[in-house]
Amino acid sequence: MNGRELVRPWWLLPPGRLPAYWWIAAGVLFAAGDYFTGLSNAFPAFYIVPVTLAAWYSGRRPALALAIGLPLVNLALSAWQWTPEASVARLLTTTMVRGSIVVVMALWFARLAEHERDLRRHVHTLEGLLSICAFCKKIRNEGGEWERLETFISKRSQAHFSHSVCPACGKAHYPSYVDEETSRWTD
């Protein structure tokens, strides 16, 4: 990576997990704001914000609960304020469309968050200065113990090792088994 540290993009939500009650509280606040300000007509996808955050930080279930619950709360509040000139069919259609959009967004962001967490678990990087013995090539781990290079790297990555002897070491340590001209092993 040519010496540069990997920097998380500013637009990507920070990693982590939060309990679902945070999003229930956020949903209640958004529903109250929607009810008292009447912003639902101006911003039909108003509930995407708490649903997206719930999907990212708490997972699929809280996000889906909010994605289904918030449009239903909006429907109940709208039905409570219902006037004879308002169309019930239009109110139900609007609620179903809004709910469908918010459910799709919840599923999308929940999957994106799962994917990022899976990538974080999958990618193991070895960074920093490693203490390695100049003779036996063992590495000092975090506990101060010395372990074989292969063991150290295998525990921290998906790498597996197979051992061989390079041509230079073959010539030095096994001269009778290495062809001088080709530097290949002979039988």
Predicted local confidence at residue 95, as pLDDT? 79
What pLDDT score does 1 carry? 44
Question: Where in the chain are the domains?
Answer: 21-122
Across the chain, which has 187 residues, the per-10-residue mean pLDDT values are 59 71 76 68 66 86 87 78 72 81 88 84 66 88 89 82 81 76 64
| Tally of CB atoms within 10 A around 13 | 14
pLDDT (0 to 100) of residue 2: 47
Cβ–Cβ under 8 Å, residues 104 and 98: no
Give the tens place of pLDDT for each residue, 89-143: 877 887 788 788 888 888 998 999 888 888 777 665 566 678 888 888 899 988 8
| pLDDT computed for residue 162 by the predictor | 83
Residue 125 pLDDT? 59
Return the pLDDT at 111.
92
